[in-house]
Amino acid sequence: MSPLIYGAFAAAGNLLGALAVTARDSWSRRTIGFVLAFSAGFLVAVSLGELMPEAIIRGGPRAGWWMIGAFALVHLTQHALVRHFHFGEERHEVGRGVAGSALVGLMLHTLVDGVAIATSFAVDGRLGGLVLAAIVLHKLPEGLAIGSLFVAGGRTKAAGVAAAACLGAATIAGAALADSVDLLATHGLAISAGVTFYVGASNLIPEFQVRGGWAENGWFFAGIAAYAAAAAIVPT
């Protein structure tokens, strides 16, 4: 199956997240915390258990620098280009410029998501399936975030859904570029590892830690357990 089809499947997660946030006025902090905690556990586990080791095998010692560079680049785009926001909680009024800058930053991020999908499936179907599952999980809160920001900025719900569709399109574009750009074909897995680890460790973990409580931590470890179960079930 073409990586573009897998990219489109992942892109649907952005749309579902935006549709969820525009279909109702608010989601409880507790529900959002559980989703973020589970997603964080799965993403951190996939990056440490699958992506990073495979990237080093394929790319050698230089793979570590590509991971660090990708980690730093995402941090720069999210903190220099985009004002910080909280997934699914952008109900206070925000400026339209905040929503626009968030869309630009997240599109850069989701472009790399597409690269991650294509390069992981190029290694083998097992790795590709695990990475795809991880990306779909974090695309749901991304859709929640961008949809919330657009609505809170005074735009229509349709505009929020359209913004999420742009994120999905960037994912598909990343999957297409991975096959045609030599740099991405060679180092795409290392770049993906750095980005995936950043999203789980720096974006999602702080979000549910702020809410606190044993339940959120339980869902975090459930995410790790889900990865372990999937890795054990899916044949190598």
Distance CA 145, CA 102 (A): 9
DSSP assignment string, the chain: --HHHHHHHHHHHHHHHHHHHHHSS---HHHHHHHHHHHHHHHHHHIIIIIHHHHHHHHTTHHHHHHHHHHHHHHHIIIIIS----TT-TTS---HHHHHHHHHHHHHHHHHHHHHHHHHHHH-HHHHHHHHHHHHHHHHHHHHHHHHHHHHTT--HHHHHHHHHHHHHHHHHHHHHHHH-HHHHHHHHHHHHHHHHHIIIIIIHHHHHHH--HHHHHHHHHHHHHHHHHHHHS--
Residue 169 has what pLDDT? Answer: 94
Q: How far apart are the first and last CA of the chain?
A: 18
Residue 93 has what pLDDT? Answer: 47
User: Tokens 């992942």 label which residue?
Assistant: 10
Residue 122 has what pLDDT? Answer: 85
| CB-based burial label for 115 (10 Å; 0-12, 13-18, 19+) | buried
Q: Are 168 and 22 in contact (CB under 8 A)?
A: no
User: Tokens 């680049």 label which residue?
Assistant: 73
User: Tokens 């913004």 label which residue?
Assistant: 163
| CB-based burial label for 24 (10 Å; 0-12, 13-18, 19+) | exposed
Residue 206 has what pLDDT? Answer: 81
User: Tokens 């589970």 label which residue?
Assistant: 38
Distance CA 32, CA 3 (A): 30
Q: Tens digit of pLDDT per residue, the chain (236 long)?
A: 677 888 898 999 889 888 887 776 566 667 777 877 888 888 899 889 988 998 898 888 889 999 999 899 888 876 765 555 555 444 444 455 566 767 876 787 788 888 888 888 888 888 888 889 888 887 887 787 788 778 766 778 888 899 999 999 999 999 888 877 777 767 888 888 888 898 888 877 887 777 667 888 898 999 899 888 887 876 55
The token duo for 41 is 């556990």
Segments making up each domain of the chain, as ranges: 3-233
pTM for this entry: 0.73
Residues 6+ apart with CB under 8 A from 26: 91
